Amino acid sequence: MLQIKDLIYTVKPGQGSYDDHDHEIIRGLDLTVETGRLVVVTGPNGGGKSTTAKLVMGIEQPTGGTITFDGTDVTHMPIDERARLGIGYGFQQPAKFQGMKVGKLIRIASGEKLSGAACNRFLTSVGLCSADYLMRDVDKSLSGGELKRIEIATVLARNPKLAIFDEPEAGIDLWSFERLCETFEELHHKEPDHTIVIISHQERIMALADDIVVIEDGRVVRQGPRDEVYPTLGFGKNVDPSCAFTREKNVDFGAAEAAARAAVAASTRNEE
Amino acid sequence: MESTANTLIPQAPAQAAPGERDTVLKQAELDQISRDMLGVIADMGEDTPGAINIRANGCLAARTNSENIRIETKADKPGIDIRVAPHTKGEQVHIPVVLTETGENDMVYNDFYIGEGADVYIVAGCGIHNDGDCASEHDGIHTFYLEPNSHVVYVEKHYGEGDGTGERILNPTTEVHMQEGSSMEMEMDQIKGVSSTVRTTRGELAADCRLTVVEKLMTHGDQTAESDLDFVMDGDGSSVRVVSRSVARDRSRQLFQPVVTGNASCRGHVQCDAIIMDHAQVKSVPAIDARSTEAQLVHEAAIGKIAGDAIVKLETLGLTEEEAEEQILEDFLS
Ligand SMILES: Nc1ncnc2c1ncn2[C@@H]1O[C@H](COP(=O)(O)OP(=O)(O)O)[C@@H](O)[C@H]1O
Ligand SMILES: [Mg+2]
């Protein structure tokens, strides 16, 4: 179980702030994610989703509040220790490595001496279906969508108890996206004790969720079972979701989802 | 055939050259240190045909020739001539050098004559193990003569180790003369432990030649490394690509001066990437010199610290910060 209590993250001038003011980016965020759930976190751009994920992974240090994972207070724990505890994060913006082969990165992620075939299975599960990828460098010679899928594959290979994927759909073509959704679904069923958190704006991904969490302006503004939260999001109504999250909407969920599924093709947009 | 390839039976050199002691070490005399170091600098395949020459502490330690590749000791100065018969295919040449005695100063001239249309893989390496407190030095001057349409893959590995305070100095010079249609890929690694090095690499290319040079270097402690590369393309249709990757740690200093000159319709590309750490210094001064309107020359040089996001990514996969750094450096230089 992941428990976030009264989380605060402020950037100060000289510590990353873009101007000479303090910016409170996460403003007293409370969130509990039960073990074994598949949770989709959504909300407008700039709401603080990635920052929250980075605070959970230990990439950023909170100004206040606590983060507890499976009973252990991890608030001030280094990244690698959290990783060994079972927290994993697929970056919104993947890192590049000069000279590192895709196959090697997957092996490092898995912590095992995986065979080429085993590495390939992880790549196939994110829609990278050519064995040639294993010997490619994880650098600028790969497209944004390829890098993104390799990033996701590293988290799958690591198979953490808590996997956080940050906008996995970004930059990915429709076919790979569909394959990816199936992979998340399979993972959720195959590992009932593992928790999956997906930060996403995609209706197709929300359809996989047990729970939906809406983060806006540095706080959780809504949280609950998918069937309760989804209808409030305003999908299928041709509204800009970024304006609609906090507004109650009486949307017929079934119709909205059908419309959303049909719209996946149009909406798998490149956000990078 | 005089001897089957790679049996490593020591053979007496034809005659002792001045400066080369006329002792022949038995293979058994290559002590464990040398063997370990040989493993690092030359990976000798078991069943690959070809020729081998092992030089240890200034002496010939072992040699084998193949039908197509003959190695002979030079008569006038220390070193060997390696002659590859025209149209030889799929053979290898391994000529490792090992220095384990402190205070050695070893200087050799190795000339490679690559016959027309031949295609060979050549591995040269020098390992210095210096436990003493005197400087050990090996200066190898390797000259390649590539006849038309020949192809050479040349791998050179340099490696120093030992607990002594004695410096480990390597000053390799590599010179390539390429005739029409020949091609060469050079891969030069200085893995670690070399106190001081001045590397000189020169090449001249006739028409339709292709030369790729990949140089990898790591310095630490107070080491210094200088690499001067100078390639001249004289013939139409030729190309040179230089890729240099280096890591400078601690207080070490590196200087790169690659120069590519185009005198004809040709293409040249120089790319230097360096990772700088601690209190090191890296200076890169690439130069391109076009003397024909048809010469297309490009250079790129970048020096920077290890990418922070790459370290963080590896930490999220369970590596400590130190392990992540080492991994990134290893791959950068791989
Ligand atoms: N170092 C920083 N300095 C100032 N603002 C920042 C910094 N890091 C993030 N932010 C801001 O915090 C907000 C939340 O960002 P983020 O967590 O990436 O949002 P989301 O993932 O929900 O789109 C954004 O407005 C972003 O610009
Ligand atoms: Mg984000």
Q: Is there an atom of ligand 1 within 6 Å of A16 CB?
A: yes
Q: How confident is the model at residue A241 (pLDDT cuts 50, 70, 90)?
A: very low
pLDDT over 70 (residue B55): yes
Mean pLDDT value across chain B: 85
Asked if residue B304 and residue B265 are part of one domain, the reply reads yes
* A57 vs B245, B316, B332: nearest CB: B316
What pLDDT score was predicted for residue B169?
Answer: 84
Round to whole Å and give the CA distance between A153 and A148. 9
pLDDT band at A249 (very low <50, low <70, confident <90, very high): very low
- Over range B164-186, report the average pLDDT: 91
Tell me, yes or no, whether B180 lies in a domain.
no
- B187 domain residue, yes or no: no
- Same domain? For B123 and B207 the reply is no
- Record the tokens describing residue A104, joined without a space: 């090697």
- Among A108-117, B12-21, B192-201, the least confident range: B12-21
Residue B184 lies in a domain: no
SS (H, E, C) chain A: CEEEEEEEEEECCCCCCCCCCCEEEEEEEEEEECCCCEEEEECCCCCCHHHHHHHHHCCCCCCEEEEEECCEECCCCCHHHHHHHCEEEECCCCCCCCCCEHHHHHHHHHCCCCCHHHHHHHHHCCCCCCHHHHHCECCCCCCHHHHHHHHHHHHHHHCCCEEEEECCCCCCCHHHHHHHHHHHHHHHHHCCCCEEEEECCCHHHHCCCCEEEEEECCEEEEEEEHHHHHHHHCCCCCCCHHHHCCCCCCCCHHHHHHHHHHHHHHHCCCCC
Q: Which pLDDT band holds residue A253 (cuts at 50, 70, 90)? A: very low
Residue of chain A nearest B216, judged by CA positions:
A99
CB-based neighbours (< 5 A) of ligand 2, an ion: A 50, 92
Q: Does residue B317 fall inside a structural domain? A: yes
The pLDDT of residue B104 is above 60: yes
For the residues A60-85, what does the mean pLDDT come to?
97
Give domain status of residue B181, yes or no: no
Do B161 and B258 share a domain, yes or no?
Answer: no
Lowest mean pLDDT among A114-118, B4-8, B70-74: B4-8
Residues B82 and B219 in one domain: no
So what's the pLDDT on residue B63?
84
Residue where a domain terminates, one of B133, B155, B171: B171
Say whether both B18 and B140 belong to one domain.
Answer: yes
* Residue B58 reports pLDDT greater than 50: yes
Residue B189 lies in a domain: no
> Residue A264's pLDDT is what?
52
Instruction: Based on the fold, state whether residues B165 and B207 are members of the same structural domain.
Output: no
Domain count, chain B: 2
Contact A84 B318 (CB under 8 A): yes
Average pLDDT, chain A: 88
- Same domain, yes or no, for B15 and B69? yes
Shared domain for B153 and B105, answered yes or no, is yes
Rounded mean pLDDT, A206-222: 96
B241 within a domain of the structure (yes/no): yes
Q: For residue A259, what pLDDT band results from cuts at 50, 70 and 90?
A: low
Q: Give every CB contact of residue A11 below 8 A, 6+ residues apart in sequence.
A: A17, A22, A23, A25
Q: Which ligand is nearest to the CA of A90?
A: 2
H helix runs in chain B, sequence order: 32-41, 308-316, 321-332
Q: Report ipTM (2 d.p.).
A: 0.87
> Are B220 and B125 within one domain?
no
Q: Is residue B185, in this structure, part of any structural domain at all?
A: no
* pLDDT of A77 strictly over 50: yes
C-alpha count within 13 angstroms, C-beta hemisphere, residue B110? 27
In this model, does residue B44 exceed pLDDT 60?
Answer: no
Of B114, B139, B171, the position where a domain reaches its end is B171
Closest atom, ligand 1, to C-alpha of A92: 21
Q: Which domain holds residue B166?
A: 1-171
**One domain for residues B33 and B152:** yes
- B296 Cα to the center of ligand 1, angstroms: 44
Q: How many CA atoms lie within 13 A of A66 on its CB side?
A: 6
pLDDT at B38: 61
A159 inside 8 A of chain B by CB:
no
What percent of chain A has a predicted confidence (pLDDT) above 70? 86
Same domain for B135 and B31: yes
Q: With 90 as the cut, is the pLDDT of residue B255 above it?
A: yes
With a cut of 90, say whether residue B82 has pLDDT above it. Answer: yes
Asked if residue B214 and residue B69 are part of one domain, the reply reads no
Measured between beta carbons, the chain A residues lying within 8 angstroms of B272 are none
